[in-house]
């Protein structure tokens, strides 16, 4: 009896290319990037996504993007999961919330479940962003799209401010009594959005291939977005933006950026100061002076800094009562009244301090996970890459953007506004992006260089 013999036949290398496969990959990437930008844009335009209907659409959009990514894996016949240092802290936080729900730690289960869906949407958006930010081209498209969106939104906000009739989009009265700006009911949350968007065109401005006209347009876009932070009257936004400028300038000096780029940014800063002095110098000075008022700290005067300090003190007492796992995610409003030491006839909807509220709701365990997340993001963004180019600049711009809203979080609750939180997590994905510059196309490139390999097993008996 003859022994079967296996013969492997390999096709010789040839000049045959597979443009269809490459175009298909690019099509998927473009669809995901377009969907990601559309969801983030909708979230901002829908009054910051602070109402149930808009939150539902945001959650559905995040789920649809994840399913689109999953469909790509099925069609391509291979699982492509890009690495990120943010995976483990995100999963750890999800596990903590699950423990709160399963073991009855949450004092208001319904509120925790509702917030869990929102956090899941943020996680899905961040995951899709991690998968999208794999090439220089995709990152550049994202930054360009968000820069154009931010500029147009800033122009709209200024026009609405100059012609305001007290209604959002000139047609809808705000659902609550607040200081509205742009499409946002709360001017401080608008400032948080602009803190996230303003650094993005600066990364495009610092490209080596950027022409003088492009630099002028990108610089003007950054000026318009940044100016609305001051025109909105948000003191927390002003301080946070100033910290962003100092932090960004320090990073550039430490990274040894070229003198030409430093000169461009210095000119931009001088023009920005002059623009603010001309447009809103008096308004800005009045807002800074109002930090301490003659009336003192009362709930009817929540802008007074002394009220914020009293609120911080009571939130800290709330955290000390349940130090390990907290009162439950999104349970601040349910548990806070028993720790409140000041009189009010209004509803305290948040701690006005994202960090203390997280500590009260999730305890030291959740606070430690948050620090883990931030350390992973900062370490990845600050890791020196060689050569230092556009991708490095884009990561640093995203880090500066996230830093601004984190500083603002000491005196406000921007990360409890869905539109701002979603954009924060997407930019965190960009700041911590790894294996960029077309890592996903190595297979296609190798096939183009060597020719396709066809393997055929033939059994001879």
Most confident of 153-162, 272-281, 379-388: 153-162
Q: How many residues can be counted in the chain?
A: 461
Q: How far apart are the first and last CA of the chain?
A: 9
Looking only at the bridges linking them, the beta strands covering 5-9 and 456-460 are antiparallel
Res. 319: pLDDT tops 90: yes
Query: Among residues of the chain, what percentage have pLDDT more than 70?
Result: 78
Tokens in use for 199? Answer: 């650094």
Separation between Cα atoms, residue 150 and residue 45, nearest integer Å: 11
Helices (H), 103-257: 109-132, 136-162, 187-197, 199-205, 212-231, 235-255
pLDDT over threshold 60, residue 439:
no
Domain ranges (residues) in the chain: 16-290+299-438
Task: Look at 6-10, 282-286, 421-425 and tell me which has the smallest mean pLDDT.
Answer: 6-10
How much of the chain, in percent, has pLDDT values that exceed 90?
A: 58
Span 109-162, pLDDT tens digits: 999 999 999 999 999 999 999 999 988 999 999 999 999 999 999 999 999 999
CA 356 remoteness from chain centre: 20
- Residue 346 has what DSSP assignment? S
Contact (Cβ atoms closer than 8 angstroms) between residue 342 and residue 351: no
Banded model confidence at residue 284, pLDDT cuts 50, 70, 90: low
**pLDDT-based confidence at 320, cuts 50/70/90?**
very high
| Distance set, CA 208 to CA 88, 162, 204 (Å) | 35, 38, 9
Residue 29 scores a pLDDT above 70: yes
Pairwise CA distance, residues 72 & 401, whole Å = 30
Of 16-25, 33-42, 326-335, 397-406, the poorest mean pLDDT is in: 16-25
Residue predicted with more confidence, 384 or 407: 407
Say yes or no to pLDDT of 441 above 50: no
Residue 344: Cβ within 10 Å count: 13
How much is the average pLDDT of 72-82?
87
Between 265 and 360, the more confident residue is 360
Report the candidate in 314, 460, 386, 412 with the shortest Cα–Cα distance to residue 4. Answer: 460
Which residues neighbour 292 within 8 Å (Cβ) at sequence distance 6 or greater? 304, 305, 306
SS3 call for 184: strand
Instruction: Identify the band that residue 4 occupies on the pLDDT scale cut at 50, 70 and 90.
Output: very low
Listing DSSP states for 401-426 in one string gives: HHHHHHHHTTTS-GGGSHHHHHHHHH
Greater model confidence, 80 or 368: 368
Cα(167)–Cα(22) distance, integer angstroms: 49
Tens of pLDDT along 163-204? 988 899 999 988 777 789 999 999 999 999 999 999 999 999
Q: pLDDT tens, 216-241?
A: 899 899 989 998 998 888 888 988 99
pLDDT of residue 78: 82
CA quadruple 181, 125, 428, 145: dihedral sign:
negative
Of the candidates 454, 440, 444, the residue with the CA atom closest to the CA atom of residue 135: 440
Mean predicted lDDT score pLDDT of the chain? 84
Name every residue whose Cβ is closer than 8 Å to that of residue 317 and which is 6 or more positions away in sequence.
339
pLDDT of residue 280: 56
Q: Is the pLDDT reported for residue 208 higher than 90?
A: no
The pLDDT assigned to 251 comes to: 85
| Structure token pair of residue 147 | 């820069």
Give the position of tokens 């996970």: 369
Q: What is the pTM of this model?
A: 0.86
Of residues 323 and 443, the one with the higher pLDDT is 323
The residues with which 5 forms a beta bridge, in sequence order, are 460
On the question of pLDDT at 252 being above 50, the answer is yes
């Amino acid at each position: 009896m003859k022994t079967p013999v296996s013969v492997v036949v390999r096709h010789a290398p040839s000049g045959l290319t597979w443009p269809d496969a490459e175009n298909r990959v690019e099509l998927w990437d473009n669809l995901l990037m377009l969907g990601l930008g559309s969801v983030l844009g909708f979230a901002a335009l829908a009054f910051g996504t602070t109402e149930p209907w808009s939150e539902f659409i945001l959650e559905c959009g995040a789920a649809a993007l994840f399913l689109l990514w999953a469909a790509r894996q099925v069609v391509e016949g291979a699982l492509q999961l890009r690495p990120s240092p943010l995976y483990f802290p995100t999963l750890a936080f999800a596990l903590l919330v699950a423990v709160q729900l399963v073991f009855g730690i949450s004092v208001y289960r319904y509120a925790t479940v509702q917030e869990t869906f929102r956090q899941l949407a943020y996680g899905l958006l961040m995951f899709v962003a991690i998968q999208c930010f794999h090439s220089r081209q995709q990152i550049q498209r994202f930054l360009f799209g968000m820069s154009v969106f931010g500029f147009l939104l800033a122009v709209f906000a200024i026009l609405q401010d100059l012609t305001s009739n007290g209604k959002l989009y000139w047609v809808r009265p705000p659902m609550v009594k607040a200081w509205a700006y742009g499409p946002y009911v709360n001017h401080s949350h608008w400032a948080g959005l602009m803190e996230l968007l303003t650094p993005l065109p600066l990364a495009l401005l610092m490209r080596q291939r950027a022409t003088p006209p492009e630099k002028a347009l990108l610089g003007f876009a950054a000026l318009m977005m940044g100016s609305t932070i001051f025109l909105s009257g948000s003191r927390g936004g002003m301080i946070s933006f100033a910290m962003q400028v100092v932090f960004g300038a320090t990073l550039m000096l430490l990274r040894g950026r070229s003198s030409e780029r430093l000169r461009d940014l210095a000119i931009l800063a001088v023009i920005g100061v002059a623009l603010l002095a001309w447009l809103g110098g008096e308004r800005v000075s009045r807002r800074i002076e109002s930090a301490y008022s003659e009336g003192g700290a009362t709930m009817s005067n929540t802008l007074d800094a002394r009220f914020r300090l009293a609120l911080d003190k009571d939130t800290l007492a709330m955290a000390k009562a349940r130090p390990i796992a907290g009162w439950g995610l999104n349970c601040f409003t349910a548990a806070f009244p028993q720790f409140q030491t000041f009189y009010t006839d209004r509803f305290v909807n948040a701690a006005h301090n994202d960090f203390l509220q997280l500590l009260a709701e999730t305890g030291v365990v959740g606070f430690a996970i948050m620090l883990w997340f931030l350390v992973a993001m900062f370490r990845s963004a600050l890791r020196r890459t060689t050569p230092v180019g556009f991708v490095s600049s884009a990561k640093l711009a995203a880090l500066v953007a996230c830093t601004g809203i984190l500083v603002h979080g000491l005196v406000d609750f921007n990360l409890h506004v869905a539109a701002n939180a979603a954009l924060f997590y997407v930019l965190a994905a960009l700041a911590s992006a790894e294996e960029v510059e077309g890592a996903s196309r190595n297979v296609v490139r190798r096939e183009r260089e060597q020719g396709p390999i066809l393997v055929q097993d033939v059994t001879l008996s």
